[in-house]
Amino acid sequence: MHFHIVTLFPESFLSYLSTSILSRALEKKKIKVSYYNPRDFTADKHKRVDHRPYGGGPGMVLEAESVIKAIAKAKGKKRKVKIIFFTPSGVSFTNAYAEELVKKYKDVIFVCGHYEGVDARIKKIFSMDAISVGPYVLTGGELAALIVMDATTRRISGVIGKYESLEEERIASSDVYTRPEILVYKRKKYRVPKVLLSGNHKEIDAWRMDKK
Ligand code: ADE
């Protein structure tokens, strides 16, 4: 998949993309990431892209024109491309949405808003999904884009070693354990549930279902 990110802060993606499983996905060419900075598309000689809102109100608004040009550049001549606009008032992001992206799209454009938002006219020009990553307000869309990219990339085949979505549905449990078998903390012993040491996979699956 190719993620095209329209952002004023492309460098804010680098630390996560250079360390996580996403960095391996990039190396393995399972994903590709490109950045389009509205500042590079503004006609303003001071590269200014935010202005006061018409009608008054707090904060600044990201201007439409340079964002439109950045999206148009990302879109190029591609016909099938999903454009996602991040906003706390959007539809909640889910695993099902991530799965659909993986199944149906090769190119996904993320539009990361900032300040009080982006001039609403961009919604008239491009058909976009308005997506929220949770019931809280972030300072910008960059973290939201990383969340969607992460949850989507892990569903691409070959990104996570043993990944099998059915398996994930069937026996995933929130509780997992690893060495040591007996953890001692402040003289108290914490043991791994016996069933996990039993080697009986039927019982282990049943326990995991129960713990879901
Ligand atoms: N931008 C600011 N807050 C956001 C949120 N919760 N989800 C998506 N984009 C946002």
Q: What is the pLDDT of residues 56-66, one digit of tens each?
A: 999 999 999 99
Residues 134 and 111 in one domain: yes
DSSP state of 118: B
Residues 90 and 186 in one domain: no
Indicate whether 124 pLDDT > 80. yes
Indicate whether 115 pLDDT > 80. no
Question: Tens digits of per-residue pLDDT, 126-166?
Answer: 999 999 999 999 999 999 999 999 999 999 999 997 655 54
Q: Is 133 in the pocket of ligand 1 (CB under 6 A)?
A: yes
Q: Is 87 in the pocket of ligand 1 (CB under 6 A)?
A: yes
Q: Which residues contact 92 (CB under 8 A, 6 or more apart)?
A: 131, 132, 133, 134
Residues 106 and 178 in one domain: no
Residue 114's DSSP bridge partners are 140
Residues 70 and 102 in one domain: yes
Question: Which residue range(s) make up the domain with 190?
Answer: 171-211
What does the pLDDT read at residue 166?
A: 45
Report which of 47, 34, 41 is spatially closest to residue 68, judged by C-alpha positions. Answer: 41
**Which of 61, 110, 131, 138, when mutated, tests ligand 1's pocket best, judged by the most ligand atoms within 8 Å of its CB?**
138
195 SS3 class? helix
What does the pLDDT read at residue 174?
A: 81
d(CA 174, CA 171): 10
Is the pLDDT higher at 211 or at 67?
67
Q: Tell me the pLDDT band of 190, cut-offs 50, 70 and 90.
A: very high
Q: Is 120 in the pocket of ligand 1 (CB under 6 A)?
A: no
What does the pLDDT read at residue 48?
A: 95
What does the pLDDT read at residue 173?
A: 73
Mean pLDDT of all residues in 77-104: 97
Total number of domains in the chain: 2
Indicate whether 2 pLDDT > 90. yes
Ligand 1 atom 2: residue of nearest CA = 138
* 155 Cα to the center of ligand 1, angstroms: 22
Cis previous bond, 180, omega within 30: yes
Residues 92 and 115 in one domain: yes
First to last CA, the chain: 31
Main-chain dihedrals φ then ψ at residue 83, nearest 5 degrees? -110, 125
Structure-block tokens of residue 51: 């202005």
pTM value is 0.91
Residues 182 and 133 in one domain: no
Mean pLDDT of all residues in 81-101: 97
Residues 74 and 97 in one domain: yes
Angle of helix 142-153 versus helix 95-104 axis, rounded to 10: 70
Residues 105 and 185 in one domain: no
- Lowest mean pLDDT of 102-111, 138-147, 173-182, 192-201, name the range: 173-182
Report which of 80, 38, 40, 27 is spatially closest to residue 61, judged by C-alpha positions. Answer: 38
Do 119 and 64 contact (CB within 8 A), yes or no? yes
Strand 107-111 vs strand 2-6: parallel, antiparallel, or unpaired?
A: parallel
Q: Is 10 in the pocket of ligand 1 (CB under 6 A)?
A: no
